[in-house]
Structure 1
Amino acid sequence: MASNYRGSLRYSSYQGSVDSLTDSFNTMTLTRKPQSGTSLLSRGQPTGSSRGLQCVVCKIRPKFGEYQTCSTHCIKRVLKNGGDPEMCDYCHEKPRTPGKRQCGMDCIKKATVACLVCKCRPKNRRYQFCGRTCKRIALEYTPFILSIPKQHVTYQMAAKKFIDSWKSTTVQIPAIREIYKINLDDASLQRYNEYKETVGNEQFLYHGTARLCQLGVATTELCASLTCVCNIVRTSFQMVNYAKATGAFGKGIYTSSASNKAYRQYSGVHGAVVVSKVVLGKIKHVNKFNEVLSCPVGYNSVVYDRMDGKLNESVVYRDDAIRPVFLILFQ
Structure 2
Amino acid sequence: MTGATLIPTSASSALYKDAEKVFWSTWANPTTPKPKVVNVFYVNHIGQQVWFNYDDYRKTHGNEQYMWHGTTRACNIGDDNTQLNACSLPNCAVCHILRATLDPRRADPKSLFGIGAYVAPNSSKSVNPRYLRNADPSKSPNVVLLRCAVSLGNTFRATNPMVGVTAPPPGYDSISGVAGYTSLGPGGGTLQYDETVVFTQNAILPVEIIVLRFPSGGSSTHGDPYSAFTKKLKNVTSGNWNLYPEAIRDTYEGEILWTDGNDSYTFASAPRIKAYKVVRKDARGKVIAEGYASSNPFYFKLV
Q: TM-score, normalised by structure 1?
A: 0.53
Relative to its length, the structure with more strand (as a share) is 2
Which of 261, 273, 287 is residue 125 of structure 2 equivalent to? Answer: 261
Q: Match of 1:204?
A: 66
How far is 1:246 from its partner? 2.6
How far is 1:180 from its partner? 0.8
Which of 14, 28, 49 is residue 153 of structure 1 equivalent to? Answer: 14
Q: Match of 1:280?
A: 152
Q: Match of 1:194?
A: 56
Does the C-alpha gap of structure 1 residues 201 and 251 become closer, same or farther in structure 2, counting only changes over 3 Å?
same
Alignment of 1:165-314 (within 5 A): 165-186=26-47, 187-217=49-79, 219-228=83-92, 229-240=94-105, 242-264=106-128, 265-266=131-132, 269=141, 271-290=143-162, 293-294=165-166, 295-307=168-180, 311-314=193-196
Q: Is the 8 A contact 1:167 1:310 kept in 2?
A: no
Superimposed CA distance per residue, residues 147-202 of structure 1 (whole angstroms, 9 cap, x where no aligned partner): 21111100100110010000102124311111110112432211111111111100
Does the C-alpha gap of structure 1 residues 171 and 165 become closer, same or farther in structure 2, counting only changes over 3 Å?
same
Q: Match of 1:324?
A: 206
Opposite residue 266 of structure 1, the aligned amino acid is L
Q: Is the 8 A contact 1:253 1:317 kept in 2?
A: yes
Q: Is the 8 A contact 1:275 1:325 kept in 2?
A: yes
**What SS class does the counterpart of residue 17 from structure 2 fall into?**
helix
Q: Is the 8 A contact 2:73 2:133 kept in 1?
A: no
Opposite residue 208 of structure 2, the aligned amino acid is F
Give the CA RMSD over aligned residues: 2.3
Opposite residue 225 of structure 1, the aligned amino acid is L
Task: Measure the CA separation in 1 of the matches of 2:12 and 2:5.
Answer: 21
Opposite residue 143 of structure 2, the aligned amino acid is G
Q: Is the 8 A contact 1:248 1:293 kept in 2?
A: no
**What SS class does the counterpart of residue 306 from structure 1 fall into?**
coil
Superimposed CA distance per residue, residues 91-145 of structure 1 (whole angstroms, 9 cap, x where no aligned partner): xxxxxxxxxxxxxxxxxxxxxxxxxxxxxxxxxxxxxxxxxxxxxxxxxxx4210
Deviates more, 1:145-154 or 1:306-315: 306-315
Structure 1 unaligned residues grouped into runs of 5+? 1-5, 8-141
Alignment of 1:87-98 (within 5 A): none
Superimposed CA distance per residue, residues 235-267 of structure 1 (whole angstroms, 9 cap, x where no aligned partner): 222234x43333111110000001111111215
Q: Match of 1:78?
A: none
**What SS class does the counterpart of residue 159 from structure 1 fall into?**
helix
Task: Measure the CA separation in 1 of the matches of 2:205 and 2:88.
Answer: 20
Structure 2 unaligned residues grouped into runs of 5+? 135-140, 182-190, 214-303
Deviates more, 1:198-207 or 1:171-180: 171-180
Task: Measure the CA separation in 2 of the matches of 1:220 and 1:291.
Answer: 37
Relative to its length, the structure with more helix (as a share) is 1
**What SS class does the counterpart of residue 232 from structure 1 fall into?**
helix
Task: Measure the CA separation in 2 of the matches of 1:292 and 1:210.
Answer: 23
Deviates more, 1:320-329 or 1:181-190: 181-190
Superimposed CA distance per residue, residues 192-229 of structure 1 (whole angstroms, 9 cap, x where no aligned partner): 11111111100000000111111122622322124321
Does the C-alpha gap of structure 1 residues 234 and 292 become closer, same or farther in structure 2, counting only changes over 3 Å?
closer
Task: Measure the CA separation in 1 of the matches of 2:4 and 2:201.
Answer: 17
**What SS class does the counterpart of residue 12 from structure 2 fall into?**
coil
What percent of counterpart residues are identical? 26
Q: Match of 1:31?
A: none
